[in-house]
């Protein structure tokens, strides 16, 4: 492990290579997890409540937070709270982790894929507008890589048709759009604490609901439909009136989340510094286009650094030969049989799908490693 003169985070030994992802483990997390192991609360308990409280204060003011076992759980919970029914239509991004869209299959909802913007990989509001029908009950957007979508345009469409927006902000913890923090804008915002996200709880997620009256319902649904607060007071009448799930977060996970929250500002500074260095070193390279770097009205959360290149496989091979991992990470969802198979009506995605490449960006590498990666790229492939 090497010292990092630009940041307090220890760098990994990269003599054997630079990995694409690495979990960020806060320095005090072992102590606080150990403290939880000495209490009577290992499952959902006071740490979960404290994590929800602190998360709301930082990212969801005027809303309420619901901690769950994964980001996928949080999305499914949002879809339930939207009262989606079989046959309803939901407009979703074509390009995203399948976790965004698979919960809709649980519910028998008709998925309407929207094409991406060619300069961001975010959902294209123009494509969304064309997909609206009388059956449309929600719009889901994903802030790809950490760059917020065009929220004003999406909100205008949603308001016009009186439907909610659900933000999949798995990549976008700490991002802002026109001065607003992601988490404060839409009816529902999901965050992921999966192993390699900005904050990790091993696995986990958080749903911020703007309508605080939905908090109690969300709390019940994440625990089999049971009102835990009444049960723990000894006044529960032992009835369940709505279908619930085993979606709660544990205190062990919440202890990790609280420590991650304590370090998130430093994590974002580090990741944005690396993102900016990539941009500085690659912006004049005619063989490389950078995704999502030209906006001044929104702040990137810097979870992914993505470029467009020709002969992608050749560049990946050259990077690998120099001990550098790279990859695609996410894929267009219509390539999967569960979503009905590939369609030839997404021209922007068609033009991009063989050209995008994600480069290493995490707290265990520093400026020196970014320079190494960019120097390999500059020599051509």
Domains 14-25+264-378 and 29-257 fall in the same CATH topology: no
Residue 304 has pLDDT above 90, yes or no: yes
Tens of pLDDT, residues 34-65: 999 999 999 999 999 999 999 999 999 889 99
> Average pLDDT, stretch 148-174?
98
Strand stretches in 164-278, DSSP E = 165-168, 176-177, 180-181, 188-192, 205-209
Residue 168 has pLDDT above 50, yes or no: yes
Share of the chain above pLDDT 90, in %: 90
Share of the chain above pLDDT 70, in %: 96
- pLDDT at position 228 is 78
Tens of pLDDT, residues 176-192: 999 999 999 999 999 99
- pLDDT at position 115 is 98
Cα–chain-centroid distance for residue 126? 23
pLDDT band for position 5 (cuts 50, 70, 90): very low
- CA–CA separation, 121 vs 355, rounded Å? 12
| Domain 14-25+264-378 CATH assignment equals 3.90.640.10 | no
Choose the weakest-confidence range: 167-176, 229-238, 356-365. Answer: 229-238
pLDDT band for position 1 (cuts 50, 70, 90): very low
Q: Give domain 29-257's CATH architecture.
A: 3-Layer(aba) Sandwich (3.40)
> Average pLDDT, stretch 278-282?
98
CA atoms within 13 A on the CB side of 250: 14
Averaged pLDDT score across all residues of the chain: 95
Of 130, 92, 123, 129, the C-alpha closest to 110 is: 92
> Average pLDDT, stretch 245-250?
97
Q: Where are the domains of the chain?
A: 14-25+264-378, 29-257
- pLDDT at position 235 is 72
More confident call, 7 vs 189: 189
What token pair was written down for 143? 């802030």
- pLDDT at position 8 is 67
Tens of pLDDT, residues 215-232: 999 999 999 999 877 666
What token pair was written down for 175? 């991002």
- pLDDT at position 239 is 85
Choose the weakest-confidence range: 5-9, 112-116, 266-270, 336-340. Answer: 5-9
Please state, as a whole number, how many other Cβ atoms lie within 10 Å of the Cβ of residue 25: 17
What token pair was written down for 80? 């339930």
- pLDDT at position 231 is 66
């Amino acid at each position: 492990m090497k010292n990092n003169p630009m940041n307090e985070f220890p760098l990994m030994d990269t003599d054997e290579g630079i990995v694409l992802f690495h979990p960020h483990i806060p320095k005090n997390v072992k102590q606080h997890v150990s403290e939880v192991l000495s209490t009577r609360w290992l499952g959902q308990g006071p740490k979960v409540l404290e994590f929800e409280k602190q998360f709301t204060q930082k990212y969801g003011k005027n809303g309420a937070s619901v901690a769950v076992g994964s980001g996928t759980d949080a999305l499914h919970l949002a879809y339930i709270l939207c009262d989606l029914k079989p046959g309803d239509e939901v407009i979703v991004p074509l390009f995203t982790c399948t976790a965004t869209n698979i919960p809709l299959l649980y519910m028998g909802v008709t998925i309407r894929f929207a094409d991406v913007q060619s300069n961001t990989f975010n959902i294209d509001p123009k494509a969304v507008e064309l997909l609206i029908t009388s059956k449309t009950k929600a719009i889901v957007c994903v802030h790809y890589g950490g760059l917020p979508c065009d929220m004003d345009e999406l909100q205008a469409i949603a308001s016009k048709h009186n439907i909610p927006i659900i933000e999949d902000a798995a990549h976008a913890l700490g991002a802002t759009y026109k001065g607003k923090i992601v988490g404060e804008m839409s009816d529902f915002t999901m965050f992921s604490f999966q192993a390699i996200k900005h904050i990790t709880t091993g696995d986990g997620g958080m749903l911020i609901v703007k309508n605080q009256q939905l908090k109690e319902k969300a709390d019940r649904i994440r625990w089999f439909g049971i009102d835990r607060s009444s049960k723990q007071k000894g006044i529960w009448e032992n009835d369940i009136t709505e279908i619930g799930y085993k979606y709660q977060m544990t205190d062990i996970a919440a202890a990790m989340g609280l420590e991650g929250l304590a370090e998130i500002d430093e994590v974002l500074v580090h990741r944005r510094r690396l993102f900016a260095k990539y941009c500085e070193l690659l912006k004049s390279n005619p063989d490389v286009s950078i995704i999502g770097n030209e906006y001044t009205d929104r702040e990137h959360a810097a979870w992914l650094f993505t470029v467009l290149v020709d002969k992608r496989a050749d560049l990946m091979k050259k990077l690998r030969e120099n001990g550098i991992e790279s990859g695609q990470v996410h894929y267009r969802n219509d390539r999967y049989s569960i979503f009905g198979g590939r369609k030839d009506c997404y021209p922007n995605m068609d033009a991009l799908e063989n050209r995008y490449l994600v480069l290493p960006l995490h707290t265990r590498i520093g400026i020196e490693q970014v320079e190494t990666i960019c120097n390999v790229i500059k020599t051509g492939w």
